[in-house]
Amino acid sequence: MTGSGKTEVYIRVVESALSAGKQALILVPEIGLTPQLLTRFQERFSVPIAVLNSSLTEKQRYLAFEDARTGVAPIVIGTRLSAFAPLKAPGVFIIDEEHDASFKQQEGFRYHARDLLILRATLEHCPVVLGTATPSLETLRNMQTGRFHALALPHRAGNSVPPTVQILDVRHKKLQEGLSAQLIAAMREQMDQQGQVLLFLNRRGYAPVLMCFECDWIATCKNCDAKLTIHYQSQQLRCHHCETSLPIDKHCPSCTAKNPKPVGIGTERLEAALQSLFPSKTIVRIDRDTTRKKGALKEQLESIHAGEAHILLGTQMIAKGHHFPNVTLVAILDIDQALFSIDFRSTEKMGQLITQVAGRAGRAERLGHVILQTQHPEHPLLKQLLAEGYANFAATVLTERQMLNLPPFSHQALIRAEANTLERALGFLAFVKQSAIKTAPKTLKILGPTPAPMERRHGKHRAQLLCQAPKRSALQQLLQTLMPSIESQPIAQTVRWSLDVDPIDLY
């Protein structure tokens, strides 16, 4: 389901719950990123709506939970934490953009709000509606097995025509700050016809690498196995993993050559390039750096909707459910690293992101164009995604997962450990593995321990142990006995460790 058609379905479902005297709970990825959904609900319903998000104070959160528990608020809308909202009379649960990774709590008490709410729906005998144009593979699998039923919305909102998609092969092409000559011409053409242009680049900062061309030195974080990103406006090198920041080196610290050079392109650099290419145009950049200030995002979105902005550029923040009716051209830059990532979920995420970003074009009566710049135009999954759409692409990726016995065809639990030395983290996990082998069901596989893909982060050394089983019950059987037995061991006090069931990020 896409766009406003989807919201209309939610509204009808909520209406019918309310008229039966019950409550509706609606989960959304990030309220600040999708203010339209909340506005639509506020316009359509005159009842109190409890809104829950992470920016509430503890008291505000308590009051919202109370309104949900006592039934004062027949409608509850919020981010992942609302999955815990107590309801007096649960009538329906709705999960908007169910594929979105922000439903997973990655720190502390780890849970997936979607999965939690699906379980709650069973316990509280309440129907649950998942909405998305790009279902997660877990949800597609649940549809295949008949656990979920699919309801399709065949038409795009407002009778608009689906966008035309063009792969732009940029192998052996000279790029101007990441932009090909064809793309620049296409942007000019759309803006001449009063269309807005949206550029998607999922990398913030000025450039991801600062390098010395005399000796190949690269600026890296002293706390993490990571390169430092150049932030030109603030004249800083920043680590996006531990938030360390340093002034930009004027000389190479290794060979003292002058002015190491930025390599690669982030949104800040792209914005500067666009300003010099199109000096008379208004450009709006949306990423975590430009939206830090309270109210900044709202202001930026308003200038886009008012037609003041000609070019909109941003990271995945712009892929999350906004409607930009005047955008007639969407260009997707530099998604190539996702094609060759070691994370088995990266192709699924790439397909969702491209489809979601492409869906921003031509949503009103105007025809939209999508241009995808790539060095790998022959990549079979990319070709299938663009030629046949997300559903067929996802079916192929799902078949691959089945052949490799990966989730959703198996179930995983990841035990992570971090310590002052890698040996200590690995040693603890080796101990966990020894204890697990004693009680593990035969079908269960234990992989590792291995150093984490980013071994050092925030000054700590990190390692992990992966448990995988064809059936969830085998995994639970193991964890129920294993967890208490580890907790009581002195070695568990020597490291920081955590358990993540159904991990979505192996870093």
The residues that touch Zn ion, with contacts defined as CB under 5 A, are 212, 214-215, 217, 221, 223-224, 239, 241-242, 244, 252, 254-255, 257
Is residue 154 exposed (0-12), middle (13-18) or buried (19+ Cβ within 10 Å)? exposed
Token reading at 487: 């907790």
Token reading at 145: 């097995």
239 neighbors 223 (Cβ within 8 angstroms): yes
CB of 254 or CB of 435, closer to Zn ion: 254
Please state the closest distance from residue 243 (CB atom) to Zn ion, in A: 7
Per the omega criterion (within 30 degrees of 0), is the bond before 453 cis? no
CB of 256 or CB of 341, closer to Zn ion: 256
299 neighbors 290 (Cβ within 8 angstroms): no
CB of 243 or CB of 378, closer to Zn ion: 243
CB of 214 or CB of 302, closer to Zn ion: 214
CB of 239 or CB of 370, closer to Zn ion: 239
Please state the closest distance from residue 458 (CB atom) to Zn ion, in A: 7
Please state the closest distance from residue 292 (CB atom) to Zn ion, in A: 19
Please state the closest distance from residue 419 (CB atom) to Zn ion, in A: 17
Task: Specify the 3-state DSSP secondary structure of 332.
Answer: strand
112 neighbors 104 (Cβ within 8 angstroms): yes
Please state the closest distance from residue 224 (CB atom) to Zn ion, in A: 3
DSSP-assigned letter for residue 281: S
CB of 230 or CB of 311, closer to Zn ion: 230
Please state the closest distance from residue 250 (CB atom) to Zn ion, in A: 12
Give 482's Cβ-side CA count (13 Å radius).
24
Q: Measure Cα distances from 161 to 4, 129, 157, 257, 396 in Å.
A: 15, 26, 9, 55, 26
CB of 223 or CB of 485, closer to Zn ion: 223
Which H or E run includes 41? helix 35-44
Residues 6+ apart with CB under 8 A from 302: none
Task: State how far the Cα of 409 lies from the Cα of 267, in Å rounded to an integer.
Answer: 37
DSSP states along 178-228: TB-HHHHHHHHHHHHTT-EEEEE----SSBSEEE-TTT--B-B-SSSSSBP
Please state the closest distance from residue 507 (CB atom) to Zn ion, in A: 13
354 neighbors 381 (Cβ within 8 angstroms): no
Please state the closest distance from residue 238 (CB atom) to Zn ion, in A: 9
**Residue 392 phi, psi dihedral angles, 5° rounding:** -70, -40
Please state the closest distance from residue 456 (CB atom) to Zn ion, in A: 9
CB of 115 or CB of 289, closer to Zn ion: 289
CB of 33 or CB of 219, closer to Zn ion: 219
Task: Specify the 3-state DSSP secondary structure of 416.
Answer: strand
Q: How many residues does the chain have?
A: 507
